Structure 1
Amino acid sequence: MPSGGGGAYGNGNGGGPGNGGRSHRRGDGGQGGGEGRRAGRTARRSRRKRALVWTAGVLSFLILGTAGAGYLYYEHLNSKLKKEDLNLGSKDMADHKPNSAGQTPLNILLIGSDARDNKANQKLGGGRDTFGAAPLADVQMLIHISADRSNISVLSMPRDTMLEIPECKDKKKNKVYPASKFAQTNESLGRGGPGCTVATWYNLTGIPIDHFMMIDFAGVVSMADAIGGVPVCVEQNIHSRTRDGKGSGLKLRKGTTSIKGEDALKWLRTRYGFGDGTDLYRARAQQMYMTSMVRELRKNAKLTDPNKLRKLAEAAIDSLTVSDTINSVKKLLDIGNDLKKVPASRITTTTMPNVYSERRAGKVEPKAGEAEDVFRMIREDIPLDGKGSAAKPLKPKPKTAPVSKDPAAAPGEIRVRVQNGTDGGGLAPARGRAGEVSAALAAKGFTQASATTVRNPMATTLIRYASDDLEGDAQAVAKALGIPLTAVRKAPDGPAGITLTVGADWRQGNVFPKPKPKSNKLPTSANALAGDDDKACMPVQAGFGW
């Protein structure tokens, strides 16, 4: 890059040929001439700084920082920006609900890919047997920037989470991947690309996602090197290596160490050696790295150096794949400006509340109730740090349903088929629910209620009736069990008669549970970490010290 302020980047105001630079010399040899020269140099430096330096938020699961470049370099970065479709699922995402000030939040899904699709990634990722295999989304973090830009919430999903992956279409290959009712979340990336991971998140959480950013192994190393190191802490000496050769190879002394390059990648990939050796502690370590990086970038004066900034920008762009909703580096700049407004003390990282799976050993599933509580808080733009936003979200009006004018028959004359749909929330089905609920109906006089073996997974309990003359009967069934009338719906294309599907929201008991008062307090199972907590340290698993 030229060192002068004119030429390709400036506007001809420097002292080079053809720009009238000599006119700045006053020719009197006195103080005024010196001041003029100094003023000219100051002005040129100011213009040069404006021309050469722009601030961009380059955000991935690793990076929140700035990058410096001139106009041509900006165009160079623009040409290298890799883009893919935001959403490969068949379900359109809902629009954001604005708050009372008309502001809307911003949600970005950060994806760390384990792709071994080139020599650099193969060298860093190892695993020769996986060269050329479908990539896995081994790191997934949702970053929620509040509508008023006062706080940021980061939600991690462990890569071992078992859930439903919806149907996804690979538009490049014109291939459709059928839905999978019970699959590991990191497999979503191999079903057409990051747009399927976005669709999977939306299918589970209902949180509309505006953008995604994806980074690979080589990107982790190059960006960590460009930053110059990130401080991390372990409670004891650690060496992540098992007797049979498993582990990341991370080797650190007790206390705080600044890591970069391959050590940074090892930290982010370490499972054996942290906590209890599960993926949950790996996610925790990734959160610590991210928050530490944010603090480091904000205080690191070296990042005002244009050469340093250019290296960071180059590393970021080379390693990133973004959604087509980020159509230019200017969009990254806009996102970065939003991120910069939030102090570290208002950044909260969490892990999706989860439980160990009863269906797949060593895997986890979303924790019923508490996972949805976190999803709801993000959907409703409620700060996870409990401090509240300046502009409150609008409260939706409670849903009600009119009482049917169709008179209900006597309970003993109403036929009801009961289905078990308790696995609709992604959890294992609660066994025997159809029989339990049909028995509860019989006890209330609905002697023609019968359980079916048909499974129909639903997140919420639903009563469907086939024709208008059954509306009153269907509502009578709902009233008998305490089910809200909003769950009673006409379904002329559905099964004949009345069908009650017991959803994931009613896994036990003979009376439909009353809705719990909504809490704006983050569950302890979310394992929150504040962005300004520089004392956090990773626990070391027994047997991995040295």
Structure 2
Amino acid sequence: MRQSSVRGERGRRATVPEPREHGEDDSPPEGEGLASNGAGRRPGGRGRPKPKRSRGVRILRWTALTLAVLVLGGAGAGYFYYEHLNGNLKKADLDLGDSKLGKPEPNAAGQTPLNILLIGSDGRNTAENVKLGGAKRDADRKPLADVQMLVHVSADRGNMSVVSIPRDTRVTIPRCTDPDDGTVYPKTVGPINESLQYGGPGCTVATWKELTGVYIDHFMMIDFSGVVSIADAIGGVPVCVNNNVYSHDSDGHGSGLKLTKGTHNVKGVQALQWLRTRYGFEDNTDIGRAKAQHMYMTSMIRQLKSGTKLSDPGKLMDLTEAATKALTVDHGLGSPKKLYDLGNDLKRVPTKRTTMITMPWVYGEGQKYVLPKPGDAEQTFSLLRNDTALDGKDKKKPDATPAPTAPKDQLPVVVQNGTASTVLGPASGRASEITSELARLGYAKATANAVLISQADTTVLYPAEPRQGDALAVAKALKLPKSAVKSSKSVQEITLVVGNDWRQGTAYPEAAADDGDKTPKSADALNGEEKGCMKVNTGYTF
């Protein structure tokens, strides 16, 4: 989100990184609220103007969600307190779509990666949320998922990658069914933050699965009041500015943040101001605001990992209480014990192996919305699907190639069509087509499996280590990358799954065949141990 310095004008429709047409959303919470005149379709909206909505608190939402799992991982609650915490949690269905995307195969050690979608809701369903978010007129509308971040924890729990997506990213929202009233929302195209209005967080999960091809295990969602309660419970996070800053001007722009040069421990309203500030940092765009949010998050995580905020039992209980009250989770995470286990998983990840990025994006028509950047966005998603660390520090695998165990004309190979995407629709006949190609290449015992599944990447699965050489030989014959070869305990023979990256023809696409394992520069990665000071815009100093 740091590729543009285009400045928005007051009254202009939101783009990313510039906010949509709803005024300047880093104004103080007690202001009139935020209004919009966008024309996008909304369920039940009857074409009403789009409301203003705050996006400045995104990092606090992310922080609160992360805190919930980190803190609960260290809390030893008694039975009654456990039941109390259990009652605090709100639960909802994980996936409201029709995706056939399966959970990734375990690695050779039986481990699988963990993917959690973090959602920040702008709902104004309570008096406190209206006060914090403004726009009283929006109290009855359905909330938007204005903050969305996917946390990917590697199968060996050795690294963690966090990928955020601009809220105005234009995507296909798949068909979703509301679990409460049975309403069926047909497939549509719109900003990804509107997916929450199509039945709840489970539709946002379904949208991410279709966009990225990444299987999602859990979601966690929080609203405005939860953000503030967590901010107070944290007790403060160190942040730094390279000059005096006052986020305020005569036109009403600014969050009200006022700090002198140097490091400050911000909390409460001041923390909220830091996270909402756009006018005051760097070029007065969301580029600077996102950087400030990332700095806040990494600083907070470093403190939690060091234990400095968890040594006081009273503060720990306050934080645990606030976290469980703030959260809506899927049923698979719907107990303190499950959050405790998740917290233990996350605590295993070294801070230096934590990487945060924004999905590479480009402006759409008229710069009124954004789209995933061709090539770079897909490369990023592919790294997640293949459990490749975004920091590029995964240990390189040996180059030695095991020999095949059987001649290719004697090797059984099962071919399966993995193009059952609900958005694109299945590419019929792919298993038969590639089976014929294998036969032409000398694999006379190749057979097609008629069962249709959904998988983003074409893969060659092998059942045990001695068969790796056979799988590599099949991949080489079809000119697939070595990364396509994976071990699997669920197959008995070499199994080729033709994914959505190869929907036509018998030649694997050259772009997809690139074995690159680096995060695109356009993702602007930030390491969990990276420190620094925010650069202050000279027009907002004192």
TM-score (norm. length: structure 1): 0.65
Which residue of 1 is the match for residue 342 of structure 2?
335
Distance 1:138 1:319 in 2: 16
Distance 1:214 1:363 in 2: 24
Distance 1:197 1:317 in 2: 21
Which residue of 2 is the match for residue 36 of structure 1?
none
Distance 1:283 1:505 in 2: 35
AA of the residue aligned to 2:300: M
Correspondent of 1:224 among 220, 231, 237? 231
Which residue of 2 is the match for residue 209 of structure 1?
216
TM-score (norm. length: structure 2): 0.66
Which residue of 2 is the match for residue 146 of structure 1?
154
Q: Secondary structure at the match of 2:333?
A: coil
1:523 aligns with 2:529: no
Distance 2:129 2:218 in 1: 24
Correspondent of 1:101 among 104, 109, 112? 109
Which residue of 1 is the match for residue 386 of structure 2?
380
Contact 1:348 1:530 in 2 (8 A): yes
How much has 1:179 moved relative to structure 2?
1.8
1:87 aligns with 2:95: yes
Which residue of 2 is the match for residue 60 of structure 1?
65
Which residue of 1 is the match for residue 413 of structure 2?
none
Contact 1:159 1:279 in 2 (8 A): no
After TM superposition, list the pairs within 5 Å mapping 1:455-534 onto structure 2: 515-534=512-531
Stretch of structure 1 that moved more, 67-76 or 222-231: 67-76
Residue 514 to residue 296, structure 1, CA distance change in 2 (3 Å): closer
Distance 1:279 1:165 in 2: 25
Contact 2:64 2:230 in 1 (8 A): no
Which residue of 1 is the match for residue 257 of structure 2?
250
Which residue of 1 is the match for residue 207 of structure 2?
200
Distance 2:326 2:297 in 1: 17
Contact 1:148 1:390 in 2 (8 A): no
Which residue of 2 is the match for residue 135 of structure 1?
143
Distance 1:337 1:78 in 2: 18
Which residue of 2 is the match for residue 481 of structure 1?
none
1:545 aligns with 2:538: no
Deviations 1:8-40 (A, max 9, x none): xxxxxxxxxxxxxxxxxxxxxxxxxxxxxxxxx
Residue 512 to residue 342, structure 1, CA distance change in 2 (3 Å): closer
Structure 1 runs of 4+ aligned residues shifted over 6 Å read 462-465, 503-506
1:313 aligns with 2:320: yes
Residue 504 to residue 206, structure 1, CA distance change in 2 (3 Å): closer
Distance 1:463 1:194 in 2: 31
Which residue of 1 is the match for residue 495 of structure 2?
none
AA of the residue aligned to 1:523: P
Contact 1:271 1:277 in 2 (8 A): yes
AA of the residue aligned to 1:349: M
Residue 521 to residue 245, structure 1, CA distance change in 2 (3 Å): same
Q: Secondary structure at the match of 1:171?
A: coil
Stretch of structure 1 that moved more, 140-149 or 66-75: 66-75
Please give the root-mean-square deviation of Cα atoms over the aligned residues, in Å.
Answer: 4.0
Distance 1:198 1:528 in 2: 23
Residue 539 to residue 197, structure 1, CA distance change in 2 (3 Å): farther
Correspondent of 1:361 among 345, 357, 367? 367
Residue 247 to residue 360, structure 1, CA distance change in 2 (3 Å): farther
Distance 2:199 2:279 in 1: 30
Contact 2:501 2:512 in 1 (8 A): no
How much has 1:252 moved relative to structure 2?
3.0
Contact 2:281 2:536 in 1 (8 A): yes
Residue 342 to residue 390, structure 1, CA distance change in 2 (3 Å): farther
How much has 1:335 moved relative to structure 2?
0.5
Which residue of 1 is the match for residue 184 of structure 2?
176
Contact 2:67 2:323 in 1 (8 A): no
Distance 1:118 1:249 in 2: 24
Residue 138 to residue 464, structure 1, CA distance change in 2 (3 Å): same
How much has 1:391 moved relative to structure 2?
9.1
* Paired residues, number: 402
Residue 264 to residue 61, structure 1, CA distance change in 2 (3 Å): farther
Distance 2:170 2:298 in 1: 27
AA of the residue aligned to 1:231: P
Distance 2:334 2:354 in 1: 26
Residue 514 to residue 157, structure 1, CA distance change in 2 (3 Å): closer
Stretch of structure 1 that moved more, 131-140 or 110-119: 131-140
Correspondent of 2:306 among 299, 322, 332? 299
Correspondent of 2:295 among 269, 288, 291? 288
Deviations 1:317-366 (A, max 9, x none): 11111111113110000000011111211111111111122x25243211
AA of the residue aligned to 2:190: A
How much has 1:458 moved relative to structure 2?
5.1
Q: Secondary structure at the match of 2:124?
A: coil
Q: Secondary structure at the match of 1:110?
A: strand
Distance 1:238 1:211 in 2: 39
How much has 1:515 moved relative to structure 2?
4.1
How much has 1:111 moved relative to structure 2?
0.9
Aligned residues with identical type, % of pairs: 54
Contact 1:62 1:290 in 2 (8 A): no
Distance 1:225 1:141 in 2: 22
Deviations 1:30-74 (A, max 9, x none): xxxxxxxxxxxxxxxxxxxxxxxxxxxx96156543445322111
Structure 2 unaligned segments of length 5 or more: list them: 1-62, 402-408, 410-422, 438-449, 451-499
How much has 1:532 moved relative to structure 2?
1.1
AA of the residue aligned to 1:140: Q
Distance 1:541 1:179 in 2: 43
1:165 aligns with 2:170: no
Residue 505 to residue 368, structure 1, CA distance change in 2 (3 Å): farther
Structure 1 unaligned segments of length 5 or more: list them: 1-57, 396-401, 403-456, 476-489, 491-502
1:235 aligns with 2:235: no
How much has 1:251 moved relative to structure 2?
3.1
Residue 386 to residue 74, structure 1, CA distance change in 2 (3 Å): same
Contact 2:64 2:231 in 1 (8 A): no
Distance 1:236 1:165 in 2: 43
Contact 1:158 1:280 in 2 (8 A): no
Which residue of 2 is the match for residue 77 of structure 1?
85
Residue 219 to residue 387, structure 1, CA distance change in 2 (3 Å): same
Distance 2:340 2:396 in 1: 24
Correspondent of 2:276 among 261, 269, 272? 269
Deviations 1:388-429 (A, max 9, x none): 15999xx9xxxxxx9xxxxxxxxxxxxxxxxxxxxxxxxxxx
Residue 210 to residue 119, structure 1, CA distance change in 2 (3 Å): same
Residue 59 to residue 130, structure 1, CA distance change in 2 (3 Å): closer
Distance 1:61 1:139 in 2: 14
The higher-RCO structure (CA 8 Å, 6+ apart) is 2
